[in-house]
Amino acid sequence: MPEIRQRRPANTGSQEIPAGGGIDPHWHEQHQIVYAGRGVLSVTTDAGNWIAPANRAIWVPAGTLHQHRAYGETALHTVGLTDNPLNLDVPSALVVSSLLRELILAHTTLETDPTEQHRLYLVLLDQLRRSPQRPTYLPTPRDPRLAAVCKLLEVDPADNRTLTELGREIGASERTLSRLCKADLGMTFPQWRTELRLHLALRLLAEGGSVTRVAHQCGWASTSAFIDAFRRAFGHTPGTRSA
């Protein structure tokens, strides 16, 4: 067995973040898994925003400048990793199984002897390798024309205007904006709008909004359509609360 130099890898631990609170931009020399055991947490980088309900964790590679914000009372758990079990050098969202959840909670909260902690860490690495990636990512537009369109929807996500109609307001053609979506965001405009609405829905639900009210605020035609889209994206209904 390799020599164990510390009880836990660096930047590992847990903390409570009040609703609306957060952690300012920072970076780590080690890779990190960020998980909200309770509440909803967003992780923002220059490239965009990831959001983590209770069945998702965010992979943050070493050296990535990022910041956190909590929606609802949030229990933040962070696992520093000297290894890269995912072989990823960009942030990503991972599905958190029941076993992986318990491993993260134990690794970040329990005080055990170094040998036992190391064994727990190895099992956690193995489970991370098995975790499928699922997008909970809202990319940030860089082109000012596309950014202006996206800003309109961030202010009013229930705005159902087409890309052509939105383009008229900011003086750009639908063809130009569609091309920019693919180049700048890596997705179509309808896909980006859906991601925006899902991100906002997670935040509003964590802050205590009802499913019906959140569906309306975020632009879904009906509560059932919202529940359907939410389940497809996150694997559970919007009425399911974090532990």
CATH number at residue 82: 2.60.120.280
pLDDT at 195 over 60: yes
Nearest to 99 by CA among 141, 139, 129: 129
Predicted confidence (pLDDT) at residue 213 exceeds the cutoff of 90: yes
Identify the pLDDT of residue 23. Answer: 93
> CB neighbours (10 Å) of residue 113?
9
Q: How far is CA 46 from CA 68, 78, 138, 164, in A?
A: 13, 20, 11, 28
- Of the two residues 241 and 26, the one the predictor is more confident about is 26
Per-residue model confidence as pLDDT tens digits over 61-93:
999 999 999 998 999 999 999 889 989 898 999
93 and 184 housed in the same domain: no
- 94 and 121 Cβ atoms separated by less than 8 Å: no
Residue 122 lies in a domain: yes
Last residue of a domain, one of 91, 114, 137: 137
* Domain residue limits at 152: 141-234
Q: Quickly state the pLDDT bin for 243 (edges 50, 70, 90).
A: very low
Residue 135 has pLDDT above 80, yes or no: no
Closest CA to 92 of 135, 34, 52, 45: 135
d(C-alpha 145, C-alpha 150), whole Å = 9
Let me know: does 178 contact 167? Beta carbons within 8 Å. Answer: no
Whether residue 4 is predicted with pLDDT greater than 50 in this model: the reply is no
Any domain includes 7: no
pLDDT exceeds cutoff 80 at 10: no
Residue 209's nearest CA partner among 179, 239, 235 is: 239
pLDDT (0 to 100) of residue 242: 46
Q: Is 201 among the domain residues?
A: yes
> Residue 41 carries which side chain, given as an amino acid letter?
L
Where a domain ends, among 112, 137, 162?
Answer: 137
pLDDT over 70 at 241, yes or no:
no
Q: Assess if residue 1 is contained within a domain.
A: no
Helix H or strand E encompassing 48: strand 48-52
Q: What is the pLDDT of residue 54?
A: 82
The dihedrals phi and psi of 50, each to the nearest 5 degrees, come to -110, 145
Closest alpha carbon to 151 in 188, 191, 204, 193: 193
Q: Are residues 127 and 225 in the same domain?
A: no
Residue type, 78: T
How many domains are there within the chain?
A: 2
Same structural domain, 130 and 175: no
